[in-house]
Structure 1
Amino acid sequence: MHLFLADSDATESLGQALARTRPAHAVVHLRGDLGAGKSTLARALLRALGVAGAIRSPTYTLVERYPVAGGEAWHLDLYRIGDAGELEFLGLDEGAAVLWLVEWPERGGASLPPADLVVSLQVEDSGRAAVCEAGSPEGERWLARVAAEGQLQASVAQTG
């Protein structure tokens, strides 16, 4: 799924659509350069899942945990880790979270569970280009639900 997100509202709309259609358990890898909108997307998704109060960036803490329906969502930012082995010290048990939102997943390597969905963001003109790709059969079903829902198309432009 290729999208053009004209502004932060469109990025938030994508996060909301992903939240409305998410599976019971999912791993999302958020890729893109600094300032591409990864944290904006993660915050919108978490907010749409009912997270109240502050949603802090995990830039310095590496992981923030939030209660969501069915369990806990983990938002990770791995930009500052030097080696994937550092993840062992975070106490991440693959089965403990119902949702993983991982920024800079390439730095976590094989220490991370495989992605159900990969969202790649890139600054383009005055907005952002977003490419959503399934990484598993569950991810394929997830993207199909987003497309079938139709609400996302009202706020973002689909591209090639």
Structure 2
Amino acid sequence: MKSFWLADSAHTDRLGEMLARSRPPLAVVHLKGDLGAGKSTLARALLRALGVRGPIRSPTYTLVERYPLADGREAWHLDLYRIGDPGELEFLGLDPDEAALWLIEWPERGAGSLPPADLVVEMAVEGGGRRVVLSPASPVGTGWLEQLARGNAGLGAAFAADS
């Protein structure tokens, strides 16, 4: 587990860049937190750092947005806040083998119909910033956090890492 306090959106962008640099080839990320916690901002920063150009739209109404990655695969950003039943996901035609990266907001609303998380990102408003806790949920997630730590040993003034 790794915990960060992000003072502002620039720090959120920096965390997204760090996650992109250390990302495994295939991964599922569950983004958890209340409305306004910064889930979409972090997803957008991660996608931008992976080279996605053009607008990065929130999938609040479309439920899923697909983005091409440099390796020819896709990243999928899902926002399940508006679904009423996990069974609704089958109408989206999501094939777990098609996406290299899944970024899923409100994953608990799709329980049983989603691939399991490799990394769980919990975000909460805290003071004037955000508290972010990254927890591995699989061997892939454990490796991701180890790579994140190796590649960013000198976090410096970017933000406070608690663990």
Instruction: Quickly name the TM-score band, shorter chain normalised.
Output: over 0.9
Residue 69 of structure 1 deviates from its aligned partner by 2.6
Please give the secondary structure, in 2, of the residue aligned with 1:79.
coil
Please give the alpha-carbon distance, in whole angstroms, between the structure 2 residues aligned to 1:60 and 1:152. Answer: 39
Residue 119 of structure 1 deviates from its aligned partner by 0.4
Amino acid at match of 1:22: R
Residue 87 of structure 1 deviates from its aligned partner by 0.1
Residue 115 of structure 1 deviates from its aligned partner by 0.4
Q: 1:7 and 2:16 equivalent?
A: no
2:122 aligned residue: 120
Computed over aligned residues only, the root mean square deviation of the Cα atoms, in angstroms, reads 1.0
Residues 28-47 of structure 1: matches in 2 within 5 Å?
A: 28-47=29-48
Q: 1:156 and 2:149 equivalent?
A: no
Amino acid at match of 1:58: P
Under a length normalisation based on structure 1, what TM-score does the superposition of the two structures give?
A: 0.97
Q: 1:136 and 2:126 equivalent?
A: no
Please give the secondary structure, in 1, of the residue aligned with 2:66.
strand
Q: Which structure 1 residue ranges, 4+ long, deviate > 2 Å from structure 2?
A: none
Contact 1:19 1:46 in 2 (8 A): yes
Residues 84-123 of structure 1: matches in 2 within 5 Å?
A: 84-123=86-125
Query: Unpaired segments of 5 or more residues in structure 1?
Result: none
Count of residue pairs brought into register by the alignment: 160
Query: Unpaired segments of 5 or more residues in structure 2?
Result: none
Please give the alpha-carbon distance, in whole angstroms, between the structure 2 residues aligned to 1:50 and 1:150. Answer: 20
Residue 130 of structure 1 deviates from its aligned partner by 0.3
Under a length normalisation based on structure 2, what TM-score does the superposition of the two structures give?
A: 0.96
Q: Deviations over 1:1-53 (max 9, x none)?
A: 01101111111111110001100000000000000000000000000000000
- Percent identity over the alignment is 65
